[in-house]
A and B are shown apart, each in its own frame.
Chain A
Amino acid sequence: MAAPEFEVAKLTGEINVPKLREGAMAGIKAYIANEKIQTPLGYPGELVEDWHDRAIGKMGELLKKYRSLQVFMDACVHCGACTDKCHYYLGTSDPKNMPVARQELMRQVYRRHFTFAGKYFPKLVGAKDLTKEILDDWYSYYYQCSECRRCSVYCPYGIDTAEITMAGREILDSVGIGQKYSNEILGKLHRIGNNLGLPGPAIIDTLEGLEEDVLEDTGIPVKFPLDVEGAEVMLVTPSADFFSEPHVESLIGYAKVFHAAGINWTLSSKASEAGNFGLFIGSYENMRKAALRIRDAALDLGVKRIVVGECGHAWRVAYSFWNTLTGVGDGADDEFAKKLQAQLDHNYPQPAHICEVTHDLFKRGVIRADKSKNDHRVITFHDSCNVSRASRMGDTPGGQFTIPREVIKMVANNYQDMAPGTTHEATFCCGGGGGLLTDDLMEVRVKGAQPRMEAFKDVVDNNKVNFLALICAICKAQFTKVLPYYGYNMGMVGGVHQLVGTAIELPGLGAGPVEEEAEAAGVE
């Protein structure tokens, strides 16, 4: 690891609200996307001549399409309730990283162009015409927000800065200023089928390697089937699970769960990505286009159930938006969605989170675990922002908090929660979500992780925690990179299904239909 070019705070184990330091992060700019990246997404390749009018026009269009944006632009009273809630403010002290100030970057322009008070009394209400400086501020600070929604929990009107950040990014994209990281990845997803740009043969290669590894480790031929027509379950997981450490350990965990339960499952090369960066840039069209790959794969393979692997924003899109975007879900009365919904088995939630599946199988006694296999670990769980505040698991509100914890406790003996106020809906983002998981934003990421790191330090020091369990690919990548800045070993990071994979009891050789069907489908 290269020496950091910025100061990293020394952890104290407590989260303190800093005095504001204006302009502390003003110089930070993510790399800008070039024409080759922008064009396929439907955006101009560089800043257009008439950017001012186009930006205002786009803002007007979004105000008409999104009630959230329209209401949130009007409703804020500057009460300040959100000012100490954002992990980026807590970590950087830059006042423009306070949620209300981040919103105000857009609201000042909204007032000037769309309200009576702002048109005639701009100084009084803090309204400003859109200038290049403001546009630059938007780019800087709308890419210092991870769209984690923590502020929306605390706002008396439920104003969600994520909605405003997304609108800001959509407006920026529409005038030709896109972020290289998010937009390049989204292009790969559209073009190849996953964020890492892994073509089908590379996925087959990886899966074969994994089968060999697991066979070597356990003596049991756990299969990793791909593109099996007629499988019951299609698993859609972040592509990082095929490739990166520690992500791949969770993929092994999912495979072991399906193997042990005798569930006929498959991965899909077409739907080889659960992630959907269309969410991050606030583009309904791009988000829909990416989600339609999953619909198409499900229809092609004729699967009965769709299960989503460990990925936070992907679960938000899957749980909250797939039914809207693609008809994966229930309760549709239109032809488009009914076509898919007639095929799915509605005895199960559609889509289901892998933690819901595993939790249910343990509860019904279909699978079992030897908890002592995880005895070398003292585990804490980080609630991923999108799972916590933008989705659910199970039948009751809050299932997104209880189910992953119960899964951990079903496979391990040593568990310790982090401090209240940093978990459940009050959880702190890892600092790398929402399209910030790129090296050019490392300072934002490291500083933004500080509140979570403080809570982590507390349980490491006082409870001997040595494993940070996650259910999000971005969290995994972010903490792997950021933990060392705070003096911790990146090996402390892992997935919930990594823990499951360690402890789950596997039936012996020739265990059942799983293996035969995978072979029949030509997975060698």
Chain B
Amino acid sequence: MSTLSLIYVVLFYAATLLLVLGLIMKIAQYARTPAPLKIPTTPAPTTNSGVAYRMAREVVLFESLFKSSKWTWIFGWLFHFGLFLVLVRHLRYFVADVPGWLTAIQPFGKYAAFMMVAGLFGLLARRFLVDRVRYISTPSDYLHLLLLIGIGISGAMMTFVAHTDIVALKMFALGLMRFAPQPVPEDPILLAHLAMVAVLMIIFPISKLLHAPGVFFSPTRNQADNPRERRHLADWAAQLEK
């Protein structure tokens, strides 16, 4: 195997390990940390099923963002929903036999790349154009967007401009999963695409991308409004009663 292939194999194993371990550690930290007081932002659902519904609206529709800024909502939702479709489409590279439903969504997944990139450019524009957003933007905020734009454009180029050797790529992906590494196709666009994806995976658990698991642990969104009906007590707070 060439040095290049070796680098990419190691890179993807390392990135996967860092992503999975990092996320497990952060999720365990969020789950372990107690929420001593009832602080749902009200009006809030009074039951757990109501909370699940509220959380689903938040995660799928970005309900709160819709209330606050229509532009950010449009761009943010385009990007996230586009990314979701693109990711689902990519599953085909990780299963030997592509199931029918995955074949069926293939065209949606392909064109979703445009949704994703359009949303990202909108979000980037807001960082330059809105004085308040410009003020709060750090270099890493711009770099996150540029990284995702790079991933989106390089990916779309392989679909719509210069096809890469998709069979060889699938061999590479399946090889990684079967712990029987295969050579990476030496297409510069693909190599750039894969390298940027690996970087995204690596920074995920150590960056603001933690908003993805974080939202599920946000006490203002995941608590039921029932403090009068049920006593809520954290362990460290219970110690004060001893």
A residues contacting B by CB (< 8 A) are 17, 19-20, 63-68, 70-72, 74-85, 95, 98, 100-101, 104, 115-117, 121, 123-126, 149, 152-160, 163, 284-285, 288, 319-321, 323-324, 327, 329-334, 336-337, 349-351, 388-392, 396-398, 400-401, 425
Contacts and interface: CB of A to CB of B under 8 A. Distances in A.
A116 B240 contact: no
B240 A77 contact: no
For the complex of A and B, the 3 pairs showing the least CB-CB separation, nearest first, are: A75-B214, A154-B68, A397-B43
A330 B132 contact: no
A76 B221 CA distance: 15
A79 B135 contact: no
A71 B72 CA distance: 22
A424 to B, nearest CB: 8
B48 to A, nearest CB: 14
Contacts of A123: 139
Interface in B147-201: none
Interface string B29-73: 110011111110111111000000000001000101101110010
Contact of B236 (A65, A68, A70): A65
Given A153-B67, A160-B39, A392-B43, A71 B214 contact: yes
A390 B218 contact: no
Given A98-B132, A157-B215, A324 B72 contact: no
Bin chain B's interface residue count.
Answer: 35 or more
Nearest to B231: A332
B133 interface: yes
A117 B26 CA distance: 14
Given A66-B33, A115-B206, A75 B218 contact: yes
B125 to A, nearest CB: 12
A143 B72 CA distance: 29
A323 B227 contact: yes
B101 to A, nearest CB: 30
Contact of A83 (B30, B132, B211, B217): B132
A324 B233 contact: yes
Contacts of A82: 68
Given A158-B218, A337-B231, A320 B143 contact: no
B136 A85 contact: no
Contacts, number: 229
A237 to B, nearest CB: 19
Residue of B36, B45, B137, B228 with highest tally of chain A CB at under 10 A: B228
A70 B227 contact: no
A236 B222 CA distance: 31
A100 B134 CA distance: 12
A443 to B, nearest CB: 22
A149 B64 CA distance: 13
A351 B220 CA distance: 22
Given A70-B30, A126-B140, A425-B43, 8 more contacts: A20-B131, A68-B35, A83-B133, A125-B207, A158-B220, A288-B240, A392-B42, A392-B44
Contacts of A389: 41-42
Interface of B: 26, 29-30, 33-39, 41-46, 58, 62, 64-65, 67-69, 72, 76, 123, 126, 130-133, 135-141, 143, 203, 206-208, 210-211, 214-215, 217-221, 225, 227-234, 236-238, 240-241
B224 to A, nearest CB: 10
B228 A76 contact: no
Nearest to B38: A320
Nearest to B132: A83
Contact of B136 (A64, A78, A330, A392): A78
Nearest to A335: B241
B123 to A, nearest CB: 8
A78 B133 CA distance: 7
B135 A95 contact: yes
Given A329-B229, A392-B43, A79 B240 contact: no
A65 B123 CA distance: 34
A324 B237 contact: yes
A124 B229 contact: no
Contacts of B29: 70
A75 B33 contact: no
Contact of B227 (A98, A149, A319): A319
Most buried by B among A19, A66, A85: A66
9 contacts: A20-B132, A157-B215, A285-B240, A323-B232, A331-B230, A334-B241, A337-B231, A351-B228, A392-B43
B228 A323 contact: yes
B38 A71 contact: no
Contacts of A152: 41, 220
A321 B41 contact: no
B136 A104 contact: yes
Given A63-B33, A70-B33, A84-B132, A157 B38 contact: no
B215 A80 contact: no
A74 B208 contact: yes
A160 B220 contact: yes
A523 B34 CA distance: 46
Contacts of B234: 65
A79 B76 contact: yes
B228 A319 contact: yes
B135 A20 contact: yes
Given A67-B34, A78-B136, A334-B231, A397 B225 contact: yes
A17 B130 CA distance: 11
A321 B37 contact: yes
